[in-house]
Amino acid sequence: MPVLDFDLLSRFVDVPSAARRMLERSEKEIQCSLSLRVDHDRVIDATCYVVYHSLARGPAKGGIRMTPTVTMEHTRDLAERMTFKASLVRIPFGGGKSAICVDGSALTRFEKTAFLREYCHILQFELQHGAYIPAPDMGTDATDMAVIFGRFDRPDVVTGKPPRIGGLPGRNEATGRGVARVCELVAARLDGVGMGSAPLAGKRVAVQGFGNVGRWTARFCAERGAKVVAITDIHGGCYAEDGLDLDALWPLSGVTLGTNRNGYGLVSNEDLFALDVDLLVPAACEDQITGEVAEKVRARAVVEGANGPVTPGGDRVLHARGITVAPDILANAGGVIASYVEWRNAKSGSITDKQDTYDTIEQTLDRAFDDVDGFAREQQTDHRTAAHAIALREVVESMRDRCWI
């Protein structure tokens, strides 16, 4: 099912039927099988999916997910979100995604590297020609991007690399940096204050996900004065009324976050959503806040760090209850903004330092947030509809520019 509700959006954007037909299905989908012999009698097999949703605005950009439950349907959904995320922040990339259906955490480093080399071999045409430019997503990280770089020895083939080999200082934490900025913008709007007045100071924040996006979001929110009172991963997590010491939690992962008490209380994922906080940041995975869960949310706003963490049913309930939602294509766009800078540097030879990366993310998100918030007020609609309408209009206009419609 498409992420965008074209019938709803046609109230705000003129979408010719040819454009709608093109955007309702992917431009290209590839399914292939990866097999790796890891021992004399053991072969690991995995299905790999690659989707280009729309290339109207540029080459397909999107991360590689490596999880045991991922499907073509998920990959399609994520690629579509990338099309509209890049267009909302006005970056000349199209939407893409790839996924390898295997539990990366159960592989040794050697096995994972061998698997990624097989991925590069099978997709060499797509990668070599720059038709699809991967980056990290769930289950993959900068080291994995270094492996891909090593197969082609060209820094523009992949983003999210370690900085010493053409990666961008600040890219690793870019998505969390952006989510924290959107938290700040949302907090300022809720209180009707300017950004100069430290809108996150004293705000209570709960974060689901202690991976790349969740942990960096928590850290940057805390740096801006927020009290991060709870954080969970897949096994649950911990809670502290006066705020968690994130430095102490930083080395923990997997089962240890929810069992290593550090003097803190324990909290399940379900309880996290019902905490009395100002901002709730689901930054783990999709479909977490359903209609039923949304009834229990007590936060003033939900900022989507993950892709698709609120279901359409959850969205309706949150909207009806007057809870602001900052949609994923806005809130977690820091990663693709930084990836664009990394890719552009790879093409031009320019160098960017960490502060420049942070400034670019924040300035770009500030502009996008103003656009979305302004549209929502003018059209008396919610932020998700506003973000989708602006992003869709950009893609349709790009199609016109290219005489596709």
Cβ–Cβ under 8 Å, residues 296 and 273: yes
Q: Which of residues 165-184 bind ligand NAD (CB under 6 A)?
A: 175
Among 19, 79, 306, 391, binds ligand NAD (CB under 6 A): 306
Among 59, 62, 94, 139, binds ligand NAD (CB under 6 A): 139
Q: Which is nearer to ligand NAD, 122 or 234 (CB)?
A: 234
Instruction: Indicate the pairing of strand 94-100 with strand 64-66.
Output: parallel
Q: Which listed residue (87, 307, 311, 360) binds ligand NAD by CB under 6 A?
A: 307
398: contact with ligand NAD by CB under 6 A: no
Assess 95 for contact with ligand NAD (CB under 6 A).
Answer: no
Q: Is 285 a residue that touches ligand NAD (CB under 6 A)?
A: yes
Helix, strand, coil percent values for the chain (each to nearest 5): 50, 20, 35
CB of 400 to ligand NAD, least distance (A): 29
Told to check if 237 binds ligand NAD by CB under 6 A, we report no
Cα–Cα distance for residue pair 183/228, rounded to 1 Å: 12
Closer CB to ligand NAD, residue 199 or residue 237? 237
Distance CA 167, CA 341 (A): 10
353 closest CA partner among 364, 342, 344, 362: 342
**CB of 74 vs ligand NAD, minimal distance in Å:** 10
Q: How far is the CB of 365 from ligand NAD (least distance, A)?
A: 13
Residues 208-227 that bind ligand NAD (CB under 6 A): 208-214
Q: Kindly tell me which of 208 and 311 has the beta carbon lying closer to ligand NAD.
A: 208
328 vs 394, beta carbon nearer ligand NAD: 328
Question: Could you tell me the strand order of the sheet in which 236-239 lies?
Answer: 265-267, 236-239, 227-233, 204-208, 279-282, 301-303, 324-326
Give the total of residues touching ligand NAD (CB under 6 A). 23
| Six-digit token string for 6 | 């074209």
Q: Does the protein bind ligand NAD through residue 77 (CB under 6 A)?
A: no
Nearer to ligand NAD, 156 or 233 (CB): 233
Pairing mode of beta strands 28-39, 42-54:
antiparallel
- Active-site residue (options: 28, 61, 85, 97): 97
**Adjacent-strand bridge partners of 346:** none
Of 99, 101, 267, 284, which one interacts with ligand NAD (CB under 6 A)?
284
Sign of CA dihedral 89, 321, 218, 64: negative
- Distance separating alpha carbons of residues 345 and 183, to the nearest angstrom: 29
233 forms part of the interface with ligand NAD (CB under 6 A): yes
| Distance in Å, CB of 283 to ligand NAD, minimum | 6
Taking the complex as a whole, the smallest distance from the CB of residue 377 to ligand NAD amounts, in Å, to 27
Q: Which residue is nearest to ligand NAD (CB)?
A: 211
Alpha-carbon gap, residue 1 to 182, rounded angstroms: 27
Active site residue 97: yes
Q: Which amino acid is at 255?
A: V
CA distance 333 to 182: 10
Q: Binding segment for ligand NAD among 161-169, 279-287, 350-358, 379-387 (CB under 6 A)?
A: 279-287
Name, in order, each residue with C-beta under 8 angstroms of 165's C-beta and a sequence gap of 6 or more: 146, 149, 155
184 or 233, CB closer to ligand NAD? 233
Interface region with ligand NAD, contact rule CB under 6 A, candidates 29-37, 69-77, 205-213, 311-319: 205-213
Instruction: Report yes or no: 308 and 328 within 8 Å, Cβ to Cβ.
Output: yes
116, HSE (Cβ side, Cα atoms, 13 Å): 29
Q: Is 137 in the site for ligand NAD (CB under 6 A)?
A: yes
Which two structure tokens, joined as six digits, stand for 131?
A: 């038709």
Which tokens sit at 190? 């809720």
**Residues found near ligand NAD in the complex (CB under 6 A):** 136-139, 175, 208-214, 233-234, 269, 283-285, 305-307, 332, 335
Which residues are part of the catalytic machinery? 97
